[in-house]
Amino acid sequence: MNGRKQTLLAIVIALVAIALPLVTPDYRAQIALLWVMVLFAMTWDILGGQTGYNSFGNVVFFGIGMYASAVVQRDSGLDYFVALFLGMGLGGLIAVAVAAILGSMVLRMRGHYFAIATLGLGIAAAELAAGWEFIGAGSGMTTPLYPGDPGVQYLFFCYLFFALTAVVFCLLAWLYRTRFGLALNAIRDNEDKAEAMGLRTGLYKTVAWMIAAFFLGLTGGAVGNLLRFVDPRDTAFAGATYGVWMVLMAILGGKGTLWGPVLGAVVFHVTQELLWTHLLGWQRVALGLIIVAIVVFFPQGILGWARERWPERFGHKVEAS
Amino acid sequence: MSAQLVVEQATKRFGGVVANDSISIEVPQGSIVGLIGPNGSGKTTLFNSIVGYHALDSGSIRFEGQEITSLRVPEIARLGLLRTFQQTRIYGKMTCMENMAASDGECGRGIFDLLRPVSAETRENAEALLEFCGLHSKRHLRAGDLSFGQQKLLEFAMALMAKPSMLLLDEPTAGINPTLINGLIERLKRANQDLGITLLVIEHNMRVIMNLAEHIYCLAHGELLAAGSPEDIRNDKRVIDAYLGAH
């Protein structure tokens, strides 16, 4: 796909995204969650796909955003929207700081060691939150009621998450074309070589994680208000659901690509909702089977598979000289 | 000619094995120097010590007058001292052009310089160097899909892209077919003459190294066995014995 076709596709998606919640009011909550899933997959892919560091701990940044926002809304006494946006921003900043600190430590590990260490981060964060009275400990926190009609509430979150998705998408589309994006890819393909060429690999990896953390923090800050409840293990630091889904969605669509995580998140979310609806009681089993099928038949993801199948469509061809 | 790289009394042990035993070499600015020796004689260990892969047990290494003994790999690379690998290392999932763009003048650049799209100038440079290495028509292929010999050429092109002042090449012709080798010797000489890059080359192919180098060091069993012009080395009985196993 060339640049013009991609822009056209993005515009069509944007128009659908704006019209859809108006046409189908019953699905507004689901559409809002769909954008959250897209955000999960896109932010995960910055480090996981583009840089080759499979993190199972990104949910930490999401949870930090959720709690930061809930605390600001509880204690600041400000108007709902002011407190919400202030809380989201604060969550994003704290998440960035945490990513910088954690990154300088765990990003020294590579491959499986990094993946396992980050898995531990998510669990540790959940246990810490579940033991801290200030943020409700094990019983979690409730977020304030939206000042207005519930239907309008979901419409607001649809557009809020879509706006965030659009910003992140455009930012990444630009970032992956810069030399910074190439440096991340270089680290993914051969980190020793990247070091031997003089790249500041440690710095780049940490910055990549900080970018992901910032947007996950913002997302988390708003999701707390969408779900109306912040629970340390089930929503905020939900490693077994959100934490794993992020990885799955990016892999399903094709990690290391711009569109792959978007595609993967949409396919995943729609499939999951259909399973809930039509296979109640068996939805987790069906989801498990789908995950196995993805790994066996599409290890490169949908876009990765397409790239192997039609390399010339992705520009990989020998030129007659 | 002043020495650009000076290695003094470099010693490196791995457990009980002395891989490099107080080796001293000098590489003058703008020269092509060869490093030969039988397998296991410590050539690659010396390379690794120079570029900062591991610390020396004793001795010192100076590059352009600066002490680099305790610097690490990326820091040394940013000073303009680059190496290529015996087993090629390229960025397999990126296209050749992306490999080249990622290697462009990283030396000394900060993160904000990176937050710009690849410039037209970089792209032109990359295309010119790929042309120079005979890979121009393959520039949009993924580097991992190239043959081993082509990957070696790409790695060489990437090294040139970074504009180093000295290049350490670890067996640049190993695994490359004889016809391509002649082209490679030609390109190495041109890189040295036209771009002014000093070369320190590990090589097993005697025809190549005798053709290429002005001065050769021969290692055996971790010790410096002989040094001199290609002519001296060729006629040195100790060198012949080392290669034939009499040492």
Residue B171: C-alpha distances to residues A89, A293, B135, B145 (Å): 54, 44, 20, 21
Picking from A190, A198, A318, the nearest residue to B106 by CB comes out as A198
> Is residue A170 domain-resident?
yes
Residue of B nearest to A195 (CA): B74
pLDDT digits (tens, 9 = 90+) for A211-253: 999 999 999 999 999 998 899 988 899 888 899 899 999 999 9
Cβ contact (<8 Å) for A178 and B117? yes
Domain hosting residue B183, numbered range: 1-80+165-247
Question: Same domain, yes or no, for B213 and B234?
Answer: yes
Of B135, B163, B191, the position where a domain reaches its end is B163
Predicted pLDDT of residue B106: 52
Between B73, B93, B99, which is nearest A196 by CB?
B73
Residue B107 pLDDT: 46
Cβ contact, residue pair A185, B94, below 8 Å = yes
Q: Is residue A275 part of a domain?
A: yes
ipTM: 0.88
Instruction: Tell me, yes or no, whether B111 and B49 share the same domain.
Output: no
Q: B181 and B73 in one domain? A: yes
Tens-digit pLDDT profile for residues A92-142: 999 999 999 999 999 999 988 999 999 999 999 999 999 998 988 888 898
Same domain, residue pair B127 and B156: yes
Burial B113-141 (b: 16+ CB within 10 A, else e): ebeeebeeebeebbbebbebbbbbebbbb
> What is the per-residue pLDDT for A99?
96
Mean pLDDT by 10 residues, chain A (321 residues): 81 90 88 96 96 94 95 91 94 97 93 91 92 88 86 91 96 93 94 92 94 96 92 89 91 91 93 84 82 83 87 78 49
Nearest by CB to A319, from B98, B117, B140: name it.
B140
Residue B247, domain CATH: 3.40.50.300
Q: B102 vs A185: CB contact, 8 Å cut-off?
A: yes
Note whether B221 contacts A: Cβ–Cβ < 8 A: no
Q: A80: domain range?
A: 27-314
Q: How many domains in chain B?
A: 2
How many C-beta atoms lie closer than 10 Å to residue A31's C-beta? 21
Q: Do A319 and B139 touch (CB under 8 A)?
A: yes
Last residue of some domain: B130, B163, B196?
B163
Nearest Cα residue in chain A from B112? A180
Q: Tell me the C-alpha to C-alpha distance, in Å, between residue A201 and each of A177, A206, A253, B49.
A: 18, 9, 27, 20
CB contact under 8 A, A197 and B82: yes
Judge if B153 and B57 occupy the same domain.
no
| Domains contained in chain A, number | 1
Among the candidates B163, B195, B222, a domain finishes at: B163
Same domain, B56 and B177: yes
Q: Is residue A21 part of a domain?
A: no
**Would you call B116 and A179 a contact, using CB atoms and an 8 Å cutoff?**
yes
Residues B159 and B190 in one domain: no
Q: What's the pLDDT score for residue A320?
A: 60
- Which residues, numbered 29 to 68 in chain B, qualify as contacts with chain A under a Cβ-Cβ cut-off of 8 Å? 51
With a cut of 70, which residues of chain B have pLDDT below it?
1, 106-110, 245-247
| Structural domain contains residue A18 | no
CATH of the domain at A50: 1.10.3470
What was the pLDDT predicted at B87?
A: 86
Whether A213 is covered by a domain: the verdict is yes
Closest residue on chain A to B100 (Cα): A182
B169 with B247, same domain: the answer is yes
SS (H, E, C) chain A: CCHHHHHHHHHHHHHHHHHHHHHCHHHHHHHHHHHHHHHHHHHHHHHHCCCCCCCCCCHHHHHHHHHHHHHHHHHCCCCHHHHHHHHHHHHHHHHHHHHHHHHHHHCCCCHHHHHHHHHHHHHHHHHHHHCCHHHCHHHCEECCCCCCCHHHHHHHHHHHHHHHHHHHHHHHHHHCCEHHHHHHHHHHHCHHHHHHCCCCHHHHHHHHHHHHHHHHHHHHHHHHHHHCEECHHHHHCCHHHHHHHHHHHHHHHCCCCCCHHHHHHHHHHHHHHHHHHHCCCCHHHHHHHHHHHHHHHCCCHHHHHHHHHCHHHHCCCCCCC
**Are B159 and B93 in a shared domain?**
yes
